[in-house]
Amino acid sequence: MIKHTVTNAELGYALATARHKDAIVICDANMPIPDGCNVIDVSLVRGVPTLVQTMCAILNDLVAERYEVFELMPQYNDAMYQKIQSLVPQLPGGTISQERLMETMKNAKAVVRTGDFGSCCTMVLYSASGMDKYVTQFNCDFPMQE
């Protein structure tokens, strides 16, 4: 039995099988998801879980080397963009266009649909190499929320 963090079986499997440079997309409940994607729906009710809660849970189990947020997030949801940057300052960040996001979703290890209904609450995490130096450099640990 897993000690903490991700207990969703499908998501846990996707994280355990993620290899270097694999994409994990975390999207809001409104994001159109192309057919054929490996969708893991963790939404429970409107607003639960949020993008940030989901990101933190995933990063407690996955070593990511970088992230990209949906290119419209800084413009339409700057508070969310600032929050993500403050939580993962050790990770290089960037933006991803809608066109590239749709292509990334098709090949992603998982597309995780949250219950977030915030504007432009979508991001991509890219799995890091398992080498010790990268595990240390990109380590992100978040306390479990009650």
pLDDT, one tens digit per residue, over 53-100 is 999 999 999 999 999 999 999 999 999 999 999 999 999 999 999 999
Q: Are strands 23-27 and 123-127 parallel, antiparallel or unpaired?
A: antiparallel
Question: Which is the catalytic residue, given 7, 9, 16, 20?
Answer: 20
Mean pLDDT across the chain: 93
Q: Is 40 helix (H, G, I), strand (E, B) or coil?
A: strand
C-alpha 51/C-alpha 38 separation (Å) is 18
Is 4 tagged catalytic?
no
pTM above 0.75, yes or no: yes
**109 pLDDT exceeds 70?**
yes
**1 pLDDT exceeds 80?**
no
Closest CA to 26 of 60, 69, 62, 61: 69
pLDDT at 4: 60
pLDDT, average across residues 22-48: 96
C-alpha 59/C-alpha 102 separation (Å) is 22
